[in-house]
Amino acid sequence: MEAKKFVEQLSNIIIEVDLLKKRGVSDQFIAERRKSYQATPNGKNYITGHPIVDLIENFDCSNIEIGMINFDEKVEENLDYIFFGKFEIDDLAIDKATGCVVMLEAGLDHVLYECAKSDSDFLNAIYNVAVFLERTSVEEELYENVELNIQMAEEFGDIAGGKLYYDFYKMMLGV
């Protein structure tokens, strides 16, 4: 998935305001949730060949939050990785040698999880995660259904490139 498409699709995620309000969720929380799916263009038009780098270079992603995933204000590089975001405190990066997206232990080059075959696949997978998480926020039976969550994590792993990535999405969904 390309950066622009990711931003467009993310902004179109439906937030079930009425259902959230019935569950006692505040207007402020709903506004923050809506904001977490918004990235605004910053006027630049970089095309780098890495959709995640294009996303960060061309959009203000400071509000985006998908599960525990956040994007950095700018990309950083070392010899082996292009760093672009965080999962909680751990680093999300593109492995320069393989093009794969990985989660690295904070401040170290130790791979904790393989996340996607490419950064394009990663954007596609986390968009789908965002849609699912939004549904689970208003449908308790989805949230509590462990078998379904495992199945969905494996679907997200398939979107990301296959079985190698299942563990990351299972961890994201807490199963």
Q: Where are the domains of the chain?
A: 3-173
* pLDDT tens readout for residues 83-102: 999 999 999 999 999 999 99
Mean pLDDT of the chain: 95
* pLDDT tens readout for residues 26-73: 989 888 989 999 999 998 988 898 999 999 999 999 999 999 999 999
Residue 109 one-letter amino acid: D
C-alpha span between 62 and 69 (Å, rounded)? 11
Distance of CA 36 to the CA centre of its chain: 11
pLDDT confidence of residue 146: 96
